[in-house]
Structure 1
């Protein structure tokens, strides 16, 4: 049994998916059964996708909270502490509760599995299900960790599923084509459960629509069933129009910047409209508007003083969205990129996109076993003004100190990198 949160989290961070050899989801279901199947006590919305899951969850949470509901949200990764992954109305799980639920799991693993623990993500998923069920949340918003079909969260039957976007990521696990990745993400589609889709890639969309048809699930696709039109983007707020067959809402104000965030917001609006039609919620247009004005997401086009932007664009699709947002919010500026990432991503395409608009490129790395070395990242860049340094604090400080009046320092890449820089910047600003 664990007696302190530090001992507990230190231990679970050692649990690696690669060390786990059992059939996917079998152990999850067995342990959940021994815990009383808490996942079956929840009304859930299940989200998969390469980008946009966290932002979409955040909009859904704001809408439901504004309407008076008690909302659990399960997101990843965390920026500072693992408790961030599971919140109720924005408040993190307490250390005491985390320990309690972890010890419930530990007693089962020791008694029935000879102490052979599942992966880190499966453990935190088991903690989350217990927490949300015992706290009797009205709704639980649950992000997949990796893929969907074999993901630890895929033991639920949600009220609605959402697939945000598809890009080539984690190809060693999910496949090396859009169709293969889409098939894995589409694994969250359940028999007869509507799925809201923001995917634009035709190859991926064909797979998702085929799976939905096979499972008799209504498939509501952005640009087909529902539509959005961006109107204008300011530094503080942007506005857009939304419509589907039943609803039309104009001049919606959205705090989160970028056209991709309008797409994410539209997925949330559509999901809420489905729940309202099904009789699960009561939600006014005013509540919806207020929520969209408030919703923001740390590390996603997060603006700091002194013209610094943090964005966890960890694949080429995210990088393209970041660049579009930069050019809309900060036209006529110079963009000085600082990039660090893990080794399982499509760096060449992301770096090529940044090279195309950057005034300078800087590469660094973080202290994780699967971090891509700064030098190797730099080798992928063709920019005339590039540098690399394995010490991320040194390179971030150097770029900030040397920036000009019209320079925007854009710190991007892995969310783990963003988390470290974000905490450092907050301390530096004090």
Structure 2
């Protein structure tokens, strides 16, 4: 009986106040028999009331459910069949709800945008902190003749570089463009790629790309946090033995290989930083290596002759691999073939095993036909200027063929891959009317190619150069190569401790160009403005005027940054 225990407690107190009763008639703690019918009736009434209350509440709950359903229906517009079930006037719900929903969505989007912006700012700030920490190490251009530190660090990490196949690229000129083309071709074939190049133009994260995108700030920070303890461990060990620690470039190499394994990627396309034999990237066991044209550059670290430099770059050739070799000077080719023969590597030589059969200039680039060991690829559009980019494309196609086992590639995928290829800072048009071009040419061979390419690809009546260079470069040789193509030259000052002072460059420039063809404007934007004015000073219209900024990857990157252009 409902409520029995509750009433049992109070019946004992009531019994003490009531008339005495015999023990047989009433025991302590029990309900008097004469009260039981009344209590049962009370329980029955309570249950009926409860049932009535539940019944009364059902319409309220039903209406609430219908209202919720109606509100949800407003996302697609009010449903009359639902509104008809509700009591009250809901005729204005459609209009009001749409307006309220739009306002709420706008508020939510605004809050989300602010949250994302704050997070991005924190991540970018952390990336900069990490970069400043790494850049304090030995500079990347100072190659040290050892791979021990990199090998030891990667060994502790479980050798991530061995978890995917690689293509390894070296050379003096064209290696970055070719690396990017190989990456684009593999991606078009459905391969998830990681790409490692150097140096960067604007953002340090450009060096490491995963599936054609710069590594995100979050991934950059996470990768650093993962490897930093092990880098510190190797640093401490070497501080006790030889007094060294991992260099700037060695750290970034480890970061790239770790990030690729963590993603993970199907293949890595890895550009050598400098040289080859002692470059930090030379810890990979690539199935395919690519050697682009070799010329005099970085003499202080690689040697002063073609043979010495070729010996360093041929150091990436591994036993049994396929080596794609671009056109080389005879001495460089001899060194490469000797190295390949000594380790039983197979050489695929431009002009013998692969070549550009035909090349036609077009709007925004060129149309090429390429012969490789496996096929002839006709009418492939390359959205880049310069005959050297056609040669780079041929080497890239040959390399991807070799990577894919030597079989012919799907022509449609080759077309798609080359169409997606980019080469920031290499004959890059950053403005029209007048046309402003940015190029990273920094040695005589690159400057010669730059001059020829501008003459071929652009119909300028007047060309003005803007130049700055590193102190260790052959500045006279570079300027001598471009002088026949330029009407005048503006010398500027790029940032960095390695940059040669503008006035010292101007002295060399006056010897090459003559006093009346050289101006000096240390501020880069002022130098570009001065070059534009010089170009437009003649009778020719603005479209016939060209300004080319050249001399260094650093200068090219600084111009892109100042103009707000992301590579």
Please classify the TM superposition score into its range, dividing by the shorter chain length: over 0.9
- How far off is 1:398 after superposition? 1.8
| Contact kept? 1:163, 1:199, Cα under 8 Å | no
The whole-number CA distance in structure 2 between the counterparts of 1:49 and 1:34 is 30
The whole-number CA distance in structure 2 between the counterparts of 1:229 and 1:365 is 42
Pair 1:394 & 2:526 matched: yes
Q: Which residue of 2 aligns with 1:296?
A: 422
SS at match of 1:411: strand
| Higher helix proportion (structure 1 or 2) | 2
The whole-number CA distance in structure 1 between the counterparts of 2:267 and 2:310 is 26
SS at match of 2:530: helix
- How far off is 1:38 after superposition? 0.5
- How far off is 1:240 after superposition? 1.8
Q: Deviations over 1:296-352 (max 9, x none)?
A: 211111112221111111111111111111111113522111111112222211100
Q: Which residue of 2 aligns with 1:415?
A: 553
Q: Which residue of 1 aligns with 2:189?
A: 67
Pair 1:240 & 2:368 matched: yes
Q: Which residue of 1 aligns with 2:146?
A: 24
Pair 1:125 & 2:245 matched: no
Classify 1:67/1:245 alpha carbon distance in 2 versus 1 (closer, same or farther; 3 Å).
closer
| Contact kept? 1:299, 1:311, Cα under 8 Å | yes
- How far off is 1:18 after superposition? 8.4
| Contact kept? 2:134, 2:251, Cα under 8 Å | yes
SS at match of 1:69: coil
SS at match of 1:153: helix
The whole-number CA distance in structure 2 between the counterparts of 1:409 and 1:143 is 30
SS at match of 1:4: helix
Q: Deviations over 1:186-205 (max 9, x none)?
A: 01000010100113211111
Q: Deviations over 1:91-132 (max 9, x none)?
A: 221223222322333312333432763111100101001000
The whole-number CA distance in structure 1 between the counterparts of 2:373 and 2:212 is 32
Number of residue pairs the alignment of both structures matches? 424
Q: Deviations over 1:64-97 (max 9, x none)?
A: 1111111111011111111110011222212232
Classify 1:55/1:323 alpha carbon distance in 2 versus 1 (closer, same or farther; 3 Å).
same
Q: Which residue of 1 aligns with 2:128?
A: 6
Pair 1:46 & 2:161 matched: no
The whole-number CA distance in structure 2 between the counterparts of 1:193 and 1:88 is 25
The whole-number CA distance in structure 1 between the counterparts of 2:468 and 2:389 is 23
| Contact kept? 1:86, 1:93, Cα under 8 Å | yes
The whole-number CA distance in structure 1 between the counterparts of 2:420 and 2:152 is 40
The whole-number CA distance in structure 2 between the counterparts of 1:21 and 1:121 is 9
| Contact kept? 1:169, 1:344, Cα under 8 Å | no
Classify 1:6/1:94 alpha carbon distance in 2 versus 1 (closer, same or farther; 3 Å).
same
Which structure 2 residues correspond to residues 264-343 of structure 1 after superposition, within 5 A?
264-278=392-406, 283-304=409-430, 305-306=432-433, 307-343=435-471
The whole-number CA distance in structure 2 between the counterparts of 1:49 and 1:174 is 12
Q: Which residue of 1 aligns with 2:337?
A: 209
The whole-number CA distance in structure 2 between the counterparts of 1:230 and 1:411 is 30
The whole-number CA distance in structure 2 between the counterparts of 1:184 and 1:75 is 18
Classify 1:40/1:264 alpha carbon distance in 2 versus 1 (closer, same or farther; 3 Å).
same
Pair 1:372 & 2:510 matched: no
SS at match of 1:387: strand
Classify 1:195/1:107 alpha carbon distance in 2 versus 1 (closer, same or farther; 3 Å).
same
| Contact kept? 1:168, 1:346, Cα under 8 Å | no
Larger radius of gyration: 2
- How far off is 1:222 after superposition? 0.7
The whole-number CA distance in structure 1 between the counterparts of 2:379 and 2:317 is 32
Classify 1:23/1:353 alpha carbon distance in 2 versus 1 (closer, same or farther; 3 Å).
closer
| Contact kept? 2:302, 2:308, Cα under 8 Å | yes
Normalised by the size of structure 1, how large is the TM-score?
Answer: 0.94
| Higher strand proportion (structure 1 or 2) | 1
Of the three residues 222, 230, 240, the one matched with 2:350 is 222
SS at match of 2:493: coil
The whole-number CA distance in structure 1 between the counterparts of 2:438 and 2:452 is 15
The whole-number CA distance in structure 2 between the counterparts of 1:172 and 1:393 is 32
SS at match of 1:335: strand
SS at match of 2:564: helix
SS at match of 1:369: coil
The whole-number CA distance in structure 2 between the counterparts of 1:395 and 1:133 is 44
Classify 1:204/1:393 alpha carbon distance in 2 versus 1 (closer, same or farther; 3 Å).
same
Q: Which residue of 2 aligns with 1:95?
A: 217
- How far off is 1:277 after superposition? 2.9
The whole-number CA distance in structure 1 between the counterparts of 2:186 and 2:137 is 34
| Contact kept? 2:187, 2:211, Cα under 8 Å | yes
- How far off is 1:174 after superposition? 0.3
- How far off is 1:165 after superposition? 1.2
Of the three residues 119, 124, 135, the one matched with 2:263 is 135
- How far off is 1:369 after superposition? 0.5
- How far off is 1:51 after superposition? 1.1
- How far off is 1:21 after superposition? 9.9
| Contact kept? 1:182, 1:204, Cα under 8 Å | yes
Q: Which residue of 1 aligns with 2:287?
A: 159
The whole-number CA distance in structure 1 between the counterparts of 2:526 and 2:496 is 17
SS at match of 1:421: helix
| Contact kept? 2:188, 2:413, Cα under 8 Å | yes
Note the aligned Cα RMSD (angstroms).
2.1
Moved more, 227-236 or 367-376: 227-236
Where structure 2 has 5 or more consecutive residues not aligned to the other structure, the ranges are 1-122, 537-541
Normalised by the size of structure 2, how large is the TM-score?
Answer: 0.72
Q: Which residue of 1 aligns with 2:564?
A: 426
Where structure 1 has 5 or more consecutive residues not aligned to the other structure, the ranges are none
